Structure 1
Amino acid sequence: MSIQLIASDIDGTFLNDQRDFDHARFQAQLDELNRRHIKFVVASGNQMAHCQEVFADVKGDMTFVAEDGALTMEQGKILDDNPLKPALLRDAIEYLLTTPAFKDAKIILSSQHRAFTNMEKSGSDWSSSAYFYSQLTAVDHFKDITDPIYKIDTHWTNLEDVREQAAMLKRDLGGDLGSVMSGFNGIDITMPHVTKAYGLQQLQELWKVSMDETMAFGDTQNDEAMLKHARLGYAMKNAEQEALDATDLITPLDNNDSGVLDMIDRVLSGEIA
């Protein structure tokens, strides 16, 4: 069956290490995808506002699955949203703030248009985090936040490997909340059913597109479920081991050589069907 839906992660996948992509090349590709009625989906762990900013100068029909699948939008319309339930959000924050293994963790609560953090503006992580989060706001505590929160981003400044902390979260949170490593030494906490695969499945059902007609690209653990939910689920050549373990398919080129755009060209030329 021919490809009718292409989904791609952003960081380490669609973007190069300079956080950019070939805009003219992708615009031409998207024009052709739209002409052929092939859906293009941005599937990211990032905040919705940031995802939209990355593609702000691209014109055409694109759909955004943000916050690891917790929020899906198309043409400015919310198709599906799954914020953290307030009681679960409070419990998760309490756990992170009182568990010794998470003592030095930086915490960011992500809503659609804003984000709230225990980081200080003078801290070394502020500028890098502000790139990913629109209207990042430092708060003394998280008690008075009323925005729907889609994801808790937990990360560390000096930890290169958070697998131990990720395993601890899965063990201690049980089935009440979901957690997944997201790259950049971070762990995302969401509602338990939320994954990029969940977001993709909602779109497949809406558009009547099968897994056999779906192609996906990713590079970290939070892409694992999505890669398994597409017939052509590709780990990037530069992917982390968790993504590589999820599929037998690997892109010939890495993110710094426009690996996703190369594969889209192969679809459009008929080399991949």
Structure 2
Amino acid sequence: MIRLIATDLDGTLLDDEKRLSPDFWEVEQQLVDKGILFTVASGRQFHNIAKVFERIADRTVFIAENGSYAYHAGTEIFRVALDPKHVHDFIRIGRQVEGAGLVVSGKKAAYIESREPRFVDEVIRHHDALEIVDDLLQVEDDVLKFTLADFGDIVTNTAPRFEAFAPHFNVVISGRYWMDITDKTANKGTALRHVQAHFGISREETLVFGDYLNDLQMMQEARLSYAMRNAHADILAAASHVTESDNNGFGVTETIKRLVLASS
């Protein structure tokens, strides 16, 4: 019996135009009626995710910042911050990447210093609490995630500069232009385990959906794991199943209706 459903957001629950399935709210209500806990697990900022799901925020679990933060109905379930010294190292290296934009994601807000229009537009799409500052090194907040945007080639241009940190931090390419760094103990899988423990829900009672590399650990925390048809090859290999439709065909809600709600 499924008691918890966790899904990634961009490229998974949302289509490429950042829209939910037209019947999402009806499907979510049916899950509530069956006593199933709905969880959104994203690399996005908590404030941004909560706004997308404002109408059901009081009953939804939010896993934000690639698993650095988990929250439900006024209760902080999990949080792990980066050491400020290391954040400053990331900032100094990131500033050396030509054309790159840096995001320091804190608990209170996200902070940027670049005012380049394309970068700012992309950051605004994923952050509601956002501050433009003169110097990221002066930010005072619990930093949950450091992000670098590279519109050139994130794999060959940016990632090699941070390889030395990989043994001690989660250094993950989380999208076409994005690379995230979080504490070694922070990922969507770790956060999901804390959520499961908080509600007394087992791995066998969990269903997850994902599409990209930052969803990999989450795949391992559920008996039923679905890669989106449009997923990265490593996610397709790691998941126990693949959705029939991609995110533009709203494969998450389609699968939930067929797998979980068909008997209703």
TM-score greater than 0.5 by the shorter chain:
yes
Which residue in the other structure is 1:205 paired with? 197
Q: Which residue of 2 aligns with 1:155?
A: 149
* Alignment partners' CA distance in 1, 2:184 and 2:223: 24
1:240 to 208, 217, 232: 232
Given the alignment, which residue of 53, 56, 59 partners 2:54? 56
Instruction: Say what the alpha-carbon RMSD is for the aligned residues.
Output: 2.0
Is the Cα contact below 8 Å between 1:6 and 1:38 reproduced in 2?
yes
Residue in 2 that maps onto 1:139: 133
- Aligned residue number for residue 221 of structure 1: 213
Segments of 5+ residues of structure 2 without an aligned counterpart are none
Closer, same or farther: CA 134–59 of 1 in aligned 2, 3 Å: closer
In 2 relative to 1, CA 162–212 (structure 1 residues): closer, same or farther, beyond 3 Å?
Answer: same
Q: In 2, are the aligned partners of 1:27 and 1:59 still within 8 Å (CA)? A: no
Query: What is the aligned-residue identity percentage?
Result: 30
User: Which deviations, in whole Å up to 9, do the C-alpha atoms of 1:202-252 show, x marking residues without a partner?
Assistant: 011112211111110011100011112211111101112232222241100
Matched, 1:104 2:102: no
Q: 1:144 to 1:3 in 2, by over 3 A?
A: same
1:166 corresponds to 2:162: no
Contact 1:113–1:134 at 8 Å: present in 2 too?
A: no
In the other structure, the counterpart of 2:121 is 127
Q: Distance in 1 between matches of 2:263 and 2:87?
A: 47
Distance 2:156 2:83 in 1: 26
TM-score, normalization by structure 2: 0.92
CA contact (8 A) 1:7 1:217 kept: yes
Over 3 Å counting, the alpha-carbon distance change for 1:59 and 1:223 in structure 2 is closer
| Contact preservation (8 Å) 1:215, 1:232 | yes
Corresponding letter in the other structure for 1:178: N
Conservation of the 8 A alpha-carbon contact between 2:60 and 2:73: yes
Mark the CA change 1:8 to 1:167 in structure 2 (over 3 Å): closer, same or farther.
farther
- For 1:264, what is the secondary structure of its paired residue? helix
Q: Give the 3 Å change call, closer, same or farther, for CA 135–209 of structure 1 in structure 2.
A: closer
Distance 2:136 2:158 in 1: 22
**CA distance in structure 2 between the aligned counterparts of 1:186 and 1:19, rounded to whole angstroms:** 17
Moved over 3 A (4+): 57-60, 163-168
Query: Residue 259 in 1 paired to residue 251 in 2?
Result: yes
Deviates more, 1:139-148 or 1:253-262: 139-148
Q: What do residues 79-134 of structure 1 show as CA deviations (whole Å, max 9, x unaligned)?
A: 11112122222222233234xxx3332110112342111311x5222112111112
**Residue 91 of structure 1: which of 89, 92, 105 is its match?**
89
**Compared CA separation, residues 115 and 62, structure 1 to 2 (3 A):** same
What TM-score comes out, normalization by structure 1 length? Answer: 0.89
Aligned with 1:134: secondary structure? coil
Distance 1:223 1:64, change over 3 A: same
SS in 2 for 1:215: strand
Q: Among residues 20, 36, 41, which one is paired with 1:43 in the alignment?
A: 41
Q: Which amino acid aligns with 2:110?
A: A
Is the CA contact (8 Å cut-off) linking 1:8 and 1:217 kept in structure 2?
yes
Q: Is the 8 A contact 1:237 1:251 kept in 2?
A: yes
Per the alignment, residue 28 of structure 1 pairs with 26
Structure 1 counterpart of 2:13: 14
- Unmatched tracts of structure 1, length 5 or more: none
